[in-house]
Amino acid sequence: MDSATSRDSFQIIHTMHKEALLAHRKQSEDTSTLLGGQSPKKLVDDGKYILLMTTGTEVTEKSEQENLQSCQNAILTALPENRDQPKPVIVVGPAGFGKTTALEKLILDWATGKHLQHFSWVFKFTFSYLNVQKGVMSLKELLLQTHSHLSPESLALVLQKPQSLLFLFDGLDQYKNNLDLPTSHTLCSDPNQPSPVPVLIANLVHGTLLQGAATLLTSRPTTPTLESLDGHRVELLGFLKPQRNDYFNSFFSDPTAANRAFQNMERTLGFYEICTSPNFCWTTCFIYKSLMEAGESLPETLTQLFVCITGHLIRALSLDKDHARDLMSSLGRMASHCCLSPHSQCSTEEMTSFGLQQFLTTPTSLKDFLHIDGAPESKDCSFSFHTQMMQEFITAVSFYLDESEEVNVEDLLEKHGGCMEFLDLYLVGLAEPSQRKPLESHLGMWNPDRIVDLNSWFRSTTEKALQSYQKERHLHYLRLLHQSQNKKLVKDNMRSARGINYGGLSVQDCVVLNYTVTCMEEWDQLNLYRSIDLTEEKASLLVPAMSLSRVINLGQSSFTAGALNHLALALRQGRTIELDMSNNHMGDTGFKLLCTGLGDCHIEILKLPVCELTDACCEDLVAVLTSGRSHLRVLNLRANALRDPGLIKLSQALGSPHCKLQELQLQMCEFTGESMKALSTALSSGQSQLRILDLAQNQITDHGVDWLVKALQHPCCQLQSLILFDNDLTAACCAGVAAALLSECCRLTELDLSVNELGQEGALQLLKALSKPGHPLEKLSLVRCELNPLVFKELGVLLSNGTSRLKSLSLGLNKVGDEGAKHLWVALGDQRCRLEHLDIEMIQLTDASIGDLSTAVSASGSLKSLVLKNNLLTDRSVPALVRVTQDSRTMQEMNLQYNDFSEDVFELMDQCAKIKY
Ligand SMILES: Nc1ncnc2c1ncn2[C@@H]1O[C@H](COP(=O)(O)OP(=O)(O)OP(=O)(O)O)[C@@H](O)[C@H]1O
């Protein structure tokens, strides 16, 4: 043959091959079953193929969604035209994930000229077909056997160009032989060389036979051979939500029905991983369609869905109740066996032992329940369940049908717990009369003793689980309660449940938690702390639960904008009075979204520390506070860079008659003295209800304090607590503060000037003012204010002058030593001293003070807590400290942490529960 003739005849055979593949598809029978799925060939030919998703090949910074690609693209990329040394491409996915269907689509696209045209020849085999090819033959013979349209001559031509060949092998998980690398004994490089079929396949896959030919295999991920097979893996993710939507739209011809079905599935089942299985989507759509056509309602739980599926299958068999019950019980025995055996399969003999022989004579009746591989009457035939879910469901049903007394629910779960994920879920669901009723009409009544057994087991285990701190266990029982769909049961159990942190829930658990809370009708604290991935979907599912909660904790969380919109909606329509949003990256844009809910809700306490807010958020905040509808009393904005412009804006709100703020936490907001004028004006306006103001760790300076003291002396200022910790203050501000303290109008009961360089001069001015009779100050903090013994002396005088109301005094980190402290001991021993809390951490106190200290503590009629942390006390002081603390009538806690104690005295200190060390 000259080369032109050879090219022509090659082309003719090539076209013939494509046509034969297409024709063969048309002739194949429709093998669709409810649980086994739709016939892949038919589905692809009908144009119903939905793109399957796989993970992208390149790992980038992009979100997971953006990093996905379709299975088709992944395969095309893995089979390029120029391949050096082709490795097998392995498409991996769990049962029903669309592997066979993807191959059918690939063949159709190739045969119709859409893709992979660099391959002139595509040959497909199933591993189950290869299993039964016994004896010895050459690859050429094997191909002739399966492709009858090819003649030996034309095939010889085809095999001359291995680069143009693509071999597809479906279902490695079913292969009974190995695919090990060929050894010198099993090497086969000639397509005409007769060898055992497993040897041919191994050589083909490893590239020793027809070097350069491409191979593509499909396999479930659980196949052991997969581990050792070196190839390019394409992992199927199945149908994510968008593909499910497409699938429902293609399944239902009526878009309204498609939408109704899709919404129902997403709401009631979409959170189960099984929904990513195209096969499960097919089954669900099929059942939904038949329910819709019969005018029945759609399932609300997984149990209800499987009740409908099983009911549908039993009805199709037209069995009477007794036979149907028999079938279910026998299938139950088979299910248990399959679950416990390593192969999940049964032989004909085993089927007989389960009592299924009567149903084997008409195998079509079992086809919908089981996957039957071979002729049922033959010894080689194997039977398995189409899906693991059905296998578990039938185990649960048969438990309730069983009349024997041998097994209880605990035994059943213990036996199958390791291999059945949903068994307890189905058992709980099926114990509910409303859920099991449709099946009872086909199978007869459930064994009542089994229901009593289940209920008592469920009651006791739920109580324990909900009382425990084990989050996963707690959530699992919420899932079971959700499956029961029994509101009373939920209420009875949740009343005594321990409040745990529900942060970081999956979508499924959001549904479940929401169900639980809505059953309770009101909820005290919804603790979602550390919800690091609160998506729009999750937040939307939680809206009803959030609305019913008095307190919501979303501290240390991160949300999408959509999630914040849902939170705002929940606040608007709900009863929440406290919201904690501490430590998240909400920023001004996020806060703006939140404000759409804050303006019109019941929130009284709002915690927003460390939320990356700036002065830009203050306009929104002011609008909320002055809206006339805000109930906000407490606002925490600590550690947000609001800066002076922010506080100036915020002050507008404080001066508004509508603003009800009583407590404002503004630590670390980067304020200087520049904003204090506006704040002072607001505080003196007569409108401000602010009682507590914390400005710690800003740079207000003496200049800023001058403005604040003006407000403190104003009759309209309501401030009772002022915290100016670490604000670059010096003695220069103390005259003003003293004047304020002396003013008749000053209402301060708490003043914190710690970590400012007041020194002796400043402190003495303050103490002078405080010695005014009847002064209301009860709590004073002068930690690390450069105080000296003289100041302590004056403090001692103040405490025992009979007019001071000081109850709490913090003087730590002033290096006054025993000399300074002795004035406090004298004062404490005086009956006129009302001090309840004294903190003298790190003042260089030594054992020399212990005598005076003990006398003072014994004599004091008021001291409740004494903090002596970080001093220089040694073991020598311990016996006296323990004795005096034990004997004191008033003392509740003596803090001795970080002194110079040895382990020798730990036991002694342990004798007194009031001592902390
Ligand atoms: N891309 C798809 N578009 C629409 N439906 C699909 C798709 N893929 C799979 N299906 C549905 O899922 C069913 C199961 O698919 P398929 O048989 O291809 O799965 P598989 O991964 O080969 O399963 P197994 O491991 O059990 O062999 C099909 O019968 C069909 O109903």
Contacts of 602 (CB under 8 A, 6+ apart): 574, 575, 576, 577, 631
For 263-314, write each residue's pLDDT tens digit.
999 988 888 889 999 999 999 999 999 999 999 999 999 999 999 999 999 9
Strands 232-238, 89-92: parallel, antiparallel or unpaired by DSSP? parallel
For 807-855, write each residue's pLDDT tens digit.
999 999 999 999 999 999 999 999 999 999 999 999 999 999 999 999 9
List the residue whose alpha carbon is closest to atom 12 of ligand 1: 279
Q: What is the pLDDT of residue 58?
A: 41
For the CA of 104, the closest atom of ligand 1 is 18
pLDDT of 66 > 80? The answer is no
pLDDT of 4 > 60? The answer is no
Q: What is the pTM of this model?
A: 0.83
What value does the CA radius of gyration of the chain take, rounded to a whole number of Å? Answer: 39
Mean pLDDT value across residues 62-68? 50
Q: What is the pLDDT of residue 381?
A: 85
Give the position of tokens 């905040």: 621
List the residue whose alpha carbon is closest to atom 8 of ligand 1: 98
pLDDT bin (cut points 50, 70, 90) of residue 63 is very low
**How far apart are the C-alpha atoms of 333 and 327, rounded to whole Å?**
10
Which of 1-5, 561-565, 788-792 is the least confident region? 1-5
CB atoms within 10 A of CB 624: 26
pLDDT bin (cut points 50, 70, 90) of residue 25 is confident
For 664-698, write each residue's pLDDT tens digit.
999 999 999 999 999 999 999 999 999 999 999 99
pLDDT bin (cut points 50, 70, 90) of residue 364 is low
Q: What is the pLDDT of residue 67?
A: 58
Mean pLDDT value across residues 9-36? 81
pLDDT of 517 > 50? The answer is yes
* Span from the CA of 198 to the centroid of ligand 1 (angstroms): 26
Phi-psi region of 755 (alpha: psi -120 to 50; beta: other; left: phi over 0): left
* Span from the CA of 346 to the centroid of ligand 1 (angstroms): 23
* Span from the CA of 351 to the centroid of ligand 1 (angstroms): 27
Q: Which of 863, 268, 293, 689 is nearest to 507 (CA)?
A: 268
* Span from the CA of 70 to the centroid of ligand 1 (angstroms): 15
> Is the domain covering 790-795+809-826+837-917 a CATH 3.80.10.10 domain?
yes
Mean pLDDT value across residues 53-59? 63
List the residue whose alpha carbon is closest to atom 26 of ligand 1: 95
For the CA of 282, the closest atom of ligand 1 is 31
* Span from the CA of 620 to the centroid of ligand 1 (angstroms): 52
* Span from the CA of 286 to the centroid of ligand 1 (angstroms): 14
For the CA of 371, the closest atom of ligand 1 is 26
Give the DSSP letter string of 657-683: TT----EEE-TTS--BGGGHHHHHHHH
pLDDT of 362 > 70? The answer is no
Residues flanking ligand 1, CB < 6 Å: 37-38, 40, 43, 48-50, 52, 93, 95-101, 171, 220, 247, 278-279, 282
Q: 245-269 burial, b if ≥16 CB within 10 A, otherwise e?
A: bebbbbbbeeeebbebbbebbbebb
Side-chain half-sphere exposure of 670, counting CA atoms within 13 A: 13
Tell me which H or E stretch contains 191: none
Q: Which of 808, 885, 897 is nearest to 853 (CA)?
A: 885
Q: For the sheet containing 121-126, what is the strand order?
A: 68-70, 53-55, 232-238, 89-92, 214-219, 165-170, 121-126
Q: Which of 302, 334, 511, 528 is nearest to 427 (CA)?
A: 302
Mean pLDDT value across residues 476-495? 94
For the CA of 171, the closest atom of ligand 1 is 27
More confident position, 852 or 406: 852
Side-chain half-sphere exposure of 755, counting CA atoms within 13 A: 11
List the residue whose alpha carbon is closest to atom 18 of ligand 1: 98
Is there a contact between 208 and 183 (Cβ–Cβ < 8 Å)? no
**How far apart are the C-alpha atoms of 705 and 730, rounded to whole Å?**
10
* Span from the CA of 365 to the centroid of ligand 1 (angstroms): 22
What ipTM was assigned to the predicted interfaces of this complex? 0.99
Substitution site in 99, 174, 279 for ligand 1 pocket (most atoms within 8 Å of beta carbon): 279
* Span from the CA of 39 to the centroid of ligand 1 (angstroms): 8
Tell me which H or E stretch contains 914: none
List the residue whose alpha carbon is closest to atom 9 of ligand 1: 98
Q: Which two tokens stand for residue 60?
A: 């980038």
Q: Which of 93, 95, 43 is nearest to 71 (CA)?
A: 93
* Span from the CA of 276 to the centroid of ligand 1 (angstroms): 11
**How far apart are the C-alpha atoms of 390 and 396, rounded to whole Å?**
10
pLDDT of 379 > 80? The answer is no
pLDDT of 245 > 90? The answer is yes
Q: What is the pLDDT of residue 400?
A: 96
In the DSSP assignment, the letter for residue 355 is T
Tell me which H or E stretch contains 266: helix 255-268
List the residue whose alpha carbon is closest to atom 16 of ligand 1: 98
Q: Which two tokens stand for residue 742?
A: 């002396």
**In 3-state terms, what secondary structure has residue 95?**
coil
Q: Which of 400, 349, 398, 347 is nearest to 370 (CA)?
A: 347
Proportion of the chain above pLDDT 70, given as a percent = 97
Q: Which of 668, 670, 666, 698 is nearest to 682 (CA)?
A: 666
For 709-730, write each residue's pLDDT tens digit.
999 999 999 999 999 999 999 9
CB atoms within 10 A of CB 739: 16
List the residue whose alpha carbon is closest to atom 23 of ligand 1: 96
More confident position, 178 or 699: 699
* Span from the CA of 44 to the centroid of ligand 1 (angstroms): 10
Q: What is the pLDDT of residue 80?
A: 84
* Span from the CA of 24 to the centroid of ligand 1 (angstroms): 20
* Span from the CA of 97 to the centroid of ligand 1 (angstroms): 5
For 123-137, write each residue's pLDDT tens digit.
999 998 999 898 899
Q: What is the pLDDT of residue 5?
A: 63
- For 628-645, what is the HEC assignment? CCCCCCEEECCCCECHHH
For 149-208, write each residue's pLDDT tens digit.
888 988 988 898 899 999 999 999 989 898 888 888 888 999 999 999 999 999 999 999
Q: In the chain, where are the structural domains located?
A: 3-238, 274-445, 790-795+809-826+837-917
Substitution site in 42, 101, 105 for ligand 1 pocket (most atoms within 8 Å of beta carbon): 101
Q: What is the pLDDT of residue 278?
A: 97
Proportion of the chain above pLDDT 90, given as a percent = 78
For the CA of 279, the closest atom of ligand 1 is 12
For the CA of 94, the closest atom of ligand 1 is 25
Residue 92 has phi, psi (to 5 degrees) of -115, 135
pLDDT of 1 > 90? The answer is no
Q: Is 121 exposed, middle or buried (0-12, 13-18, 19+ CB in 10 A)?
A: buried
CB atoms within 10 A of CB 2: 7
List the residue whose alpha carbon is closest to atom 14 of ligand 1: 96
**Cα 108 to chain centroid, rounded:** 41
Is there a contact between 912 and 886 (Cβ–Cβ < 8 Å)? yes
**Cα 395 to chain centroid, rounded:** 30
* Span from the CA of 43 to the centroid of ligand 1 (angstroms): 9
* Span from the CA of 265 to the centroid of ligand 1 (angstroms): 19
Q: Which listed CATH number (3.40.50.720, 2.60.120.20, 3.40.50.300, 3.60.21.10) goes with 3-238?
A: 3.40.50.300
For the chain, the straight-line distance linking the first and the last C-alpha, in angstroms and rounded, comes to 101
Q: What is the pLDDT of residue 345?
A: 86
Mean pLDDT value across residues 783-793? 97
The mean pLDDT of the chain is: 92
Q: What is the pLDDT of residue 821?
A: 97
> Residues 145, 149, 154, 158: is their CA dihedral positive or negative?
negative
Substitution site in 31, 41, 43 for ligand 1 pocket (most atoms within 8 Å of beta carbon): 43
Q: What is the pLDDT of residue 3?
A: 57
For the CA of 105, the closest atom of ligand 1 is 1
More confident position, 624 or 6: 624
* Span from the CA of 657 to the centroid of ligand 1 (angstroms): 66
**Cα 737 to chain centroid, rounded:** 51
Tell me which H or E stretch contains 494: helix 487-494
